[in-house]
Structure 1
């Protein structure tokens, strides 16, 4: 598909956002696999869960200080704007085609929310065999068992369902000529003049590294609480 001549590459996804996206995707897949394998793989399941915790905390922070199109303020829309999007009433300054459109924003927030619940329940879970979350000793036995039931039941299937919907949406947009994967790999998207770019400078990347270090430290501290 040939792009119109007036389009130019615009940095939409900064490097920290792209790294977050692909690390989270890989971690979620590995979490499902290790949960199904069980046994010795559960040690890696716990480590991956702590990795996802660090990634989620980072993404929430980056949603306030990251590149323009990674900030929550750029894609969380008011109800009236969402209705206009659904009706096909798009204004020039809406920029629905740049980052996350209103429906994509719901998907992103749903994934972050469900993953956060899944991590939280995993931290206090007890499978009554050989694996307990690092925070299990801080909750009542009944609470830990309820968390485990959610973690292994509804929580798991909700995540798998959201992932399937996410992939289906990517394929659907691709069939309609909108490549969502390319910009998440390169960071750039062909867009009309006047569309603001996300900051992706050495300074913003250093800020992201500092936040990553803090989030990793938080996960390691939580892991040690179970010792």
Structure 2
């Protein structure tokens, strides 16, 4: 008889887990903590990706704070934006040639995958289909923010480093897009924080812990699809509210 592996986790590190080995919980409601604790944890987020994530958290927070403060803080707002641009270049590169779960092609949210997830039938590791949509959405928003900021000009205290490459009307138009995209980014951030809270407190999937250790449970709660629909509707409502109120 062949010898069994010393630990299931060691086996998982050497290759993908068979989907049949981790069936999703059947209960449609909250997942029991004991059930989640028993799920095997798979290394899905490598160290460079985790460093990128937390550096982005710090820099985006700094950019928002300095942008809202205005005045002399706008110089630091610009510096934070340029640092974010560097992080985005890394993420786009790592998404093409990085490790398995960091590659865009691995978690590409196709319609069939999204539909399977909403029905509670999707099984996989790394970003789930709606999580993948969220990742792609924030990358697009940040690229738009950085791009318009580089050419922007608020006529008060900030001039983008590339604003001289375009005429003033174009620069001001791009500044307007920069402000519009900021509201969409705020809506995404609100949804992201809400999703972390819901997944951690209700579905018992500690996303923050996973982004620190790089490991996440291999199974997906059956209720996750319904929760994701609610979060998606909340996100749309929050985005519309921000555009109408501010």
Aligned in 2, Cα 1:190/1:79: closer, same or farther, shift over 3 Å? Answer: closer
Structure 1 residues 22-59: Cα deviation after superposition (integer angstroms, max 9, x where no partner): 11111111111101111111111010000110111110
| 3-state secondary structure, aligned to 1:40 | helix
Match of 1:19 among 51, 55, 60: 51
**1:66 Cα deviation from its structure 2 partner:** 1.6
- The equivalences for 1:15-164 within 5 A come to 15-90=47-122, 94-95=123-124, 98-152=125-179, 154-164=180-190
Higher relative contact order (CA 8 A, sep 6+): 1
Contact 2:100 2:106 in 1 (8 A): yes
**1:87 Cα deviation from its structure 2 partner:** 2.0
| 3-state secondary structure, aligned to 1:2 | helix
Contact 2:107 2:132 in 1 (8 A): yes
Give the corresponding residue for 2:241: none
Contact 2:74 2:157 in 1 (8 A): no
Whether 1:170 aligns to 2:199 is no
Structure 1 residues 4-37: Cα deviation after superposition (integer angstroms, max 9, x where no partner): 6864442111010001111111111111110111
Aligned in 2, Cα 1:104/1:87: closer, same or farther, shift over 3 Å? Answer: same
**1:130 Cα deviation from its structure 2 partner:** 3.1
After TM superposition, the score normalised by the length of structure 2 is 0.71
**1:3 Cα deviation from its structure 2 partner:** 5.0
Aligned in 2, Cα 1:4/1:81: closer, same or farther, shift over 3 Å? Answer: closer
Structure 1 residues 52-81: Cα deviation after superposition (integer angstroms, max 9, x where no partner): 101111101101122211111121132122
Match of 2:216 among 189, 193, 204: 189
Q: In the aligned structure 2, how far is the partner of 1:64 from the partner of 1:191?
A: 24
Equivalenced residue count is 186
Structure 1 residues 124-173: Cα deviation after superposition (integer angstroms, max 9, x where no partner): 01111232111101111111001112213x11111111000011111111
Q: In the aligned structure 2, how far is the partner of 1:132 from the partner of 1:24?
A: 23
Which runs of 5 or more structure 2 residues have no equivalent in the other structure?
A: 1-32, 220-246
Q: In the aligned structure 1, how far is the partner of 2:211 from the partner of 2:97?
A: 19
After TM superposition, the score normalised by the length of structure 1 is 0.77
Which runs of 5 or more structure 1 residues have no equivalent in the other structure?
A: 193-227
Q: CA RMSD in A?
A: 1.7
Q: In the aligned structure 2, how far is the partner of 1:39 from the partner of 1:58?
A: 30
